[in-house]
Amino acid sequence: MISIASVISNTLASATPIALAGVGGMFGERSGITNIGLEGTMLFSAFAAVVGCYYTQSPWVGLLLGIAVGVLVALFHAFFCISLKVDQTIVGLAVNILAASMTVYASSILFGNKGFTASVEKLPSISIPGLQDLPFFGAFFNDMSIITILVLPLTILAHILLYKSPFGLQTIAVGQNPQAAYVAGINVKRTQYLAVLLGGLSCGLAGSYLSISYLSMFVRDMVSGRGFIAIAAILFGRYTPFGIFCAALFFGLADAVQIALQGTISIPNEIIQCAPYLLTILAVTVNEARTAHRQAAI
Amino acid sequence: MPIVSQLFNRRGGQALTQVIIFLVSFLLAMVAGALLLLAQGHTDIVSVYYQLLIKPLLQSNGLFKVLVQATPLIFAGLAVAVAFKCDVFNIGVEGQLYAGALTAAYLGYALQGLPGPVHILICTVGAAAVGGVLALIAGWLKVKYRVHEVISTIMMNHIINNVVTLLVVDYFRNDGPTARTPTIADSARLTQLAPPTQLNTGFLLALLLCAALYVVFEKTPFGWQLNAAGKNLCAARYCGVNAKRLILTAMLISGAMAGLLGAERVLGGFGYLQVNFSPGYGYDGITVAVIAGNHPLGCLLMSLLMGLLTVGGTNLNVMTDVPSEWVDTLSAFIFIFVVAANAVLLYLPAWKEKRLMRERRGKA
Successive 10-residue mean pLDDT values, chain A, 298 residues? 77 94 95 94 96 93 96 96 90 93 91 85 77 61 82 96 95 94 94 96 96 92 91 90 95 89 80 87 87 66
Residue A149 burial (CB count, 10 A):
16
Interchain pair A274, B152: CB under 8 A: no
Q: At what angle do helices B296-319 and B324-363 cross, to 10 degrees?
A: 130
Closest approach of chain A CAs to the CA of B35, in angstroms? 13
Burial A127-144 (b: 16+ CB within 10 A, else e): eeeeebeeeeeebbbbeb
> Cα distance from A104 to chain B (closest Cα, Å)?
7
Residue B190 located in a structural domain: yes
Other C-beta atoms closer than 10 Å to the C-beta of B41 total: 8
Contact B151 A104 (CB under 8 A): no
Answer yes or no: do B162 and A86 touch at CB < 8 A: no
In this predicted structure, the answer to whether residue B173 has a pLDDT above a threshold of 90 is: no
Residues of B in contact with A223 (CB under 8 A): none
In terms of Cβ atoms closer than 10 Å to its own Cβ (0-12, 13-18, 19+), residue B334 is buried
- Cβ–Cβ of A98/B340 closer than 8 Å? no
3-state SS assignment for residue B151? helix
Using a CB–CB cutoff of 8 Å, tell me whether B163 touches chain A. yes
Q: Which residues of B touch A97 (CB under 8 A)?
A: 283, 286-287, 332, 335
If you average pLDDT over residues B239-258, what whole number do you get?
93
Which architecture, in CATH terms, is A4-123+139-297? Answer: Orthogonal Bundle (1.10)
Based on the structure, what is the number of domains in chain B?
1
The Cα–Cα gap between A129 and B253 comes to 59
- Between the alpha carbon of residue A144 and those of residues A129, A131, A132, the distances in Å are 11, 12, 10
Quick check: is B354 in a domain? no
SS3 of residue A145 by DSSP: strand
What residues pair up with B192 in beta bridges, in sequence order? B200
Chain A partners of B40 at a C-beta cutoff of 8 Å? 109
Q: Which residue of A has its CA nearest to B332?
A: A98
Instruction: List the 97-116 stretch of A: residues with Cβ below 8 A of B.
Output: 97-98, 100-102, 104-105, 108-109, 114
- Looking up residue B220, the CATH number of its domain turns out to be 1.10.3470
Tell me which residue in A101, A224, A231 faces B329 most closely, judged by beta carbons.
A101
Q: Shortest Cα distance from B290 to chain A (angstroms)? A: 8
Amino acid at B30: M
Note which residues in 152-211 of chain A have CB less than 8 A from chain B: none
Residues A47, A211: contact at Cβ < 8 Å? yes
pLDDT of residue A296: 62
Give the pLDDT confidence score for residue A197 in this predicted structure.
97
Give me the pLDDT at residue A131, please.
64
Can you tell me the ipTM of this complex? 0.88
Whether A292 sits inside 8 A of B146 (CB atoms) is yes
Which residues on chain B are in Cβ contact (under 8 Å) with A288?
145-147
Distance (Å) of CA B120 to CA A233, A294, B104, B185, B190: 44, 50, 9, 10, 7
Question: For the CA atoms of B201, B202, B207, B212, what is the dihedral angle to 10 degrees?
Answer: 110
Q: Is the pLDDT of residue B307 over 60?
A: yes
**Residue B309 or B351, more confident:** B309
Which of A86, A114, A221 would you mutate first to test chain B, the one with the most B CBs within 10 A?
A86
Cross-chain Cβ contact B328/A80 below 8 Å: no
CA distance B33 to B290: 20
Q: At B11, is the pLDDT very low, low, confident or very high (cuts 50, 70, 90)?
A: very low
Task: Read off the pLDDT band of B317 (50, 70, 90).
Answer: confident
- Positive or negative, the Cα torsion across B32, B34, B38, B42? positive
Q: What is the pLDDT of residue B133?
A: 97
Q: Is B140 on the interface with A (CB under 8 A)?
A: no
Q: Determine which of B144, B156, B162 to mutate to test the interface with A (most A C-beta atoms within 10 Å).
A: B162
CB contact under 8 A, A109 and B166: no
Are the beta carbons of A234 and A283 closer than 8 angstroms?
no
Instruction: Check if B137 contacts A (Cβ < 8 Å).
Output: no
CA distance A171 to A58: 36
- Across the interface, do A105 and B146 touch by the CB < 8 Å criterion? no
Strand partners, B274: B180
In this prediction, residue B2 carries a pLDDT of 45
Q: Which of B156, B163, B329 sits opposite A270 (nearest CB)?
A: B163
Q: Is B37 part of any domain?
A: no
Chains A and B form CB pairs within 8 A to the count of 121
**How many angstroms separate the Cα of A3 from the Cα of each of A133, A136, A261, B232?**
18, 11, 11, 55
The domain limits of chain A are 4-123+139-297
Q: What is the DSSP letter of B181?
A: P
Chain B residues with CB under 8 Å of A79 CB are none
CA-based nearest distance B313→chain A, Å: 12
Between chains, do B146 and A104 touch, taking CB under 8 Å as contact? no
Split at pLDDT 50, 70, 90, the class of B130 is very high
Residues of B in contact with A93 (CB under 8 A): 89, 91, 286, 290
Nearest-CA distance A103 → chain B (Å):
9
d(CA A290, nearest CA chain B) in Å: 9
Q: Which residues of B touch A277 (CB under 8 A)?
A: 155-156, 158-159
φ, ψ (nearest 5 deg) of residue B342: -60, -40
Tell me if B343 is assigned to some domain.
Answer: no
**Rounded Cα–Cα distance for residues B331 and B291 (Å):** 10
- Any domain includes B345: no
Residue A96 neighbours by CB under 8 Å, 6+ apart: A36, A37, A39, A40, A43, A227
More confident residue, A142 or B174: B174
Q: Is B109 on the interface with A (CB under 8 A)?
A: no
B206 in any annotated domain: yes
Check CB contact under 8 Å for A80 and B163.
no
Contacts of A108 in chain B (CB under 8 A): 323, 325
Please answer whether residues A187 and A119 qualify as being in contact, where contact means their C-beta atoms are separated by less than 8 angstroms.
no
Residues of A in contact with B166 (CB under 8 A): 268, 270-271
B162·A102 Cβ contact <8 A:
no
Tell whether A232 lies on the interface with B, counting CB pairs under 8 A: yes
Chain B environment of A84 (Cβ under 8 Å): 340, 343-344, 347
Residue from A18, A101, A103, A231 to probe the interface with B (highest B Cβ count within 10 Å): A101
Q: DSSP class of residue B276?
A: T
The mean predicted confidence, pLDDT, of chain B is: 89
Over 50: is that where the pLDDT of B37 sits? yes
- Out of B145, B154, B169, the one facing A225 most closely (by C-beta) is B154
Confidence band of B95 (pLDDT split at 50, 70, 90):
very high
- Strand residue runs (E) in chain A: 125-126, 144-145
A289 close contact with B: CB closer than 8 A: yes
User: What percent of chain B is predicted at pLDDT more than 90?
Assistant: 56
